[in-house]
Amino acid sequence: MKRFRQASWDEPLISELSTPGRIGMTVPTDPAVRRRFRDPTSLVPASLRRKSVKLPELSELQVLRHFNRLSQMNFSVELGMYPLGSCTMKYNPKVSEMVASSDGMKQAHPLQPAETVQGILSIFYELERYLSEITGMYRFSLSTAAGAQGEFAGVLMIRKYLDDHGGKERDEILVPDSAHGTNPASAAMAGFKVVKVPSDANGQVRAETVKGLCSERTAGMMFTVPNTLGLFEGEVAEVSRAVHLAGGLMYYDGANMNALLGRARPGDMGFDIVHLNLHKTFATPHGGGGPGAGPVGVTRKLAEYLPVPVVAKGKAGYSLDYALKHTIGPLKGFVGNSAVLLRAYVYIRLLGASGLADVSSMAVLAANYLWKSLDPEAYPPSHGKELRRKHEAVVSVKSELPGAALTVAKAVLDYGMHAPTVYFPLIVHEALMIEPTESEPVEMLDEYAAALNDIYRRMKEGSLGEVPKNTSVGKVDEVKASHPMTLRVHW
Ligand SMILES: *Cc1c(COP(=O)(O)O)cnc(C)c1O
């Protein structure tokens, strides 16, 4: 029996709940405030006023119920386990949120003179130093707003650096076949030709393969380590050497740094450029499209190429520096998404160096524990059975039925938990990509593995039926969902 009426897709619009004359606000008693309150439009010049705004008329309780019910249609890390591979849906500590929403932060305006925002600028300056230390880079620009934008900044820097150093004709970027789709997209947007690097049977990029693909056309390589299969690339140092020898630059996709934090640095593996996803590894709530931060870091020889502004420290204090000599220019307004940057700063200060190393230990332990708890007959590993997983594990659902991974993903929703990423990386048949992160207690990992094993058993004996059953929205008709599409705005 249902304890309460669950929100559903055909929830009435708030305007449909409206009753003329019903009022949901408390009118202040002070006559001056009251005068304004009765007619708030009097603050707006008459010429700009609309004749009728047609606001819905409801009681306070009706409004509360409406929005609370809609909020039940959401899923979040704070409701249940959310092991969406490659997305690092970790717990975002509330203390970061408190600092990010403190008054001083909320009131700050990007056009304020630098001398009035020295505090926040000093925080960004320190954050840049921390990120440089964590990755082994020389300098970071914090402005880029997402991983993909960090990548784009990175490949633009490769283009400009090569143009300045006799490499104008270099127009190829190597990208492994296991890469995130944003890698080839960023390279193509910057005008490069994308050369696909095939992984071997163990899901690894071999230095020999890379050597064979390098030429005088090579501008660089975009490399994700650990890769999207959750595996460390054992030949990364040799791969870097090969690309450098050929005259190219090495780009590190650090969207998911969870496995390396405090333990290994891309700078020490030979990378020249790095981006980090602060909204993933450094704990900002994400999903649903933002806001994020994808700062981009470089070695010394590329420091003047960074996107501007960067935070500078001089005799007169901190300021935003727009005058880097070879900069690719600004890619985003001002210093970037400052609340995301501030949360990352708090997260790093909260954990300290040893805490960050604990994060990677726990993230790797959780991924391996969960992976080993799965029925290997049902969910065989896609690659490198003998290799230890890093931040995530990719398995292939063993089934003759097409769409088996999708069915498992839909079914797991009925257990009150989020699905893994499905059908990615593209080189894995019926892929489930599972990234539990360091924040899940072992009981949750057990529960998740038990759910997946149970789902497979039910699927095999044919008793699964239509899934999901317990969610506000059932399985959507993928065809009807896009054609014809009817959008309803719930406000
Ligand atoms: C998430 C991710 C990206 C893209 O990051 P966005 O912030 O979504 O643009 C790039 N590469 C990898 C490996 C990722 O997991």
Structure tokens at 471: 């969610």
Percentage of the chain beyond pLDDT 70 is 95
pLDDT tens, position by position, 417-442: 999 999 999 999 999 999 999 999 99
pLDDT at 171 over 60: yes
Ligand 1 within 6 A of 146 CB? yes
pLDDT at 305 over 90: yes
Three-state SS across the chain? CCCCCCCCCCCCCHHHHCCCCCCCCCCCCCHHHHHHHHCHHHHCCHHHCCCCCCCCCCCHHHHHHHHHHHHCCCCCCCCCCCCECCCCCCCCCHHHHHHHCCHHHHHCCCCCCHHHCHHHHHHHHHHHHHHHHHHCCCEEECCCCCHHHHHHHHHHHHHHHHHHCCCCCCCEEEEECCCCCHHHHHHHHCCCEEEEECCCCCCCCCHHHHHHHCCCCEEEEEECCCCCCCCCCCCHHHHHHHHHHCCCEEEEEECCCCCCCCCCCHHHHCCCEEEECHHHHCCCCCCCCCCCCCCEEECHHHHHHCCCCEEEEECCEEEEECCCCCCCCCCCCCCCCHHHHHHHHHHHHHHHHHHHHHHHHHHHHHHHHHHHHCCCCCCCECCCCCCCCCCCEEEECCCCCCCHHHHHHHHHHCCCCCCCEECCCCCCCCEEEECCCCCCCHHHHHHHHHHHHHHHHHHHHCCCCCCCCCCCCCCCCHHHHHCCCCCCCCC
Residue 34 pLDDT class (50, 70, 90 cuts): low
pLDDT tens, position by position, 48-88: 877 877 889 999 999 999 998 888 888 899 999 999 999 99
Give the dihedral sign, CA 448/452/455/461: negative
pLDDT at 458 over 60: yes
- Residue 180 CA to ligand 1 centre (angstroms): 7
Give the dihedral sign, CA 58/62/64/66: negative
- Residue 291 CA to ligand 1 centre (angstroms): 13
Ligand 1 within 6 A of 182 CB? yes
How long a stretch of residues is the chain? 491
Indicate the domain borders of the chain. Answer: 2-72, 94-351, 353-461
The per-residue pLDDT for 47 is 85
279 CA: nearest ligand 1 atom = 7
Ligand 1 within 6 A of 292 CB? yes
User: What average pLDDT does the structure give for the chain?
Assistant: 93
Q: What is the mean pLDDT of residues 105-122?
A: 94
- Residue 348 CA to ligand 1 centre (angstroms): 20
Ligand 1 within 6 A of 148 CB? yes
- Residue 147 CA to ligand 1 centre (angstroms): 5
Ligand 1 within 6 A of 258 CB? no
Ligand 1 within 6 A of 248 CB? no
- Pick from 254, 252, 237, 234: which is nearest to 387 by CA? 234
- Residue 277 CA to ligand 1 centre (angstroms): 7
Round to the nearest angstrom and report the end-to-end CA distance of the chain: 30
The per-residue pLDDT for 489 is 65
Omega before 484 cis (within 30°)? yes
The per-residue pLDDT for 4 is 57
Ligand 1 within 6 A of 224 CB? yes
The per-residue pLDDT for 50 is 79
- Pick from 125, 139, 108, 106: which is nearest to 319 by CA? 125
The per-residue pLDDT for 114 is 95
pLDDT at 457 over 80: yes
Structure tokens at 104: 């001083």
pLDDT tens, position by position, 214-268: 999 999 999 999 999 999 999 999 999 999 999 999 999 999 999 999 999 999 9
Q: Tell the residue nearest (CA) to atom 4 of ligand 1.
A: 147
Q: Any idea which fold 94-351 has?
A: Aspartate Aminotransferase; domain 2 (3.40.640)
The per-residue pLDDT for 30 is 74
pLDDT tens, position by position, 307-366: 999 999 999 999 999 999 999 999 999 999 999 999 999 999 999 999 999 999 999 999
Residue 11 pLDDT class (50, 70, 90 cuts): confident
Is the whole-model pTM more than 0.75? Answer: yes
Q: What is the mean pLDDT of residues 271-285?
A: 96
Residue 121 pLDDT class (50, 70, 90 cuts): very high
Q: Tell the residue nearest (CA) to atom 3 of ligand 1.
A: 147
Ligand 1 within 6 A of 281 CB? no
- Residue 107 CA to ligand 1 centre (angstroms): 30
Ligand 1 within 6 A of 147 CB? yes
Residue 1 pLDDT class (50, 70, 90 cuts): very low
- Residue 28 CA to ligand 1 centre (angstroms): 49
- Pick from 9, 3, 1: which is nearest to 472 by CA? 9
pLDDT at 398 over 90: yes
Instruction: Determine the CATH number of domain 353-461.
Output: 3.90.1150.10
Ligand 1 within 6 A of 156 CB? no
What does the CA dihedral 308, 314, 316, 319 come to, rounded to 10 degrees?
20
pLDDT at 2 over 50: no
Ligand 1 within 6 A of 255 CB? yes
Q: What is the mean pLDDT of residues 179-193?
A: 98
The whole-angstrom separation of Cα 415 and Cα 449 is 11
Q: Indicate if 353-461 has the same CATH topology as 94-351.
A: no
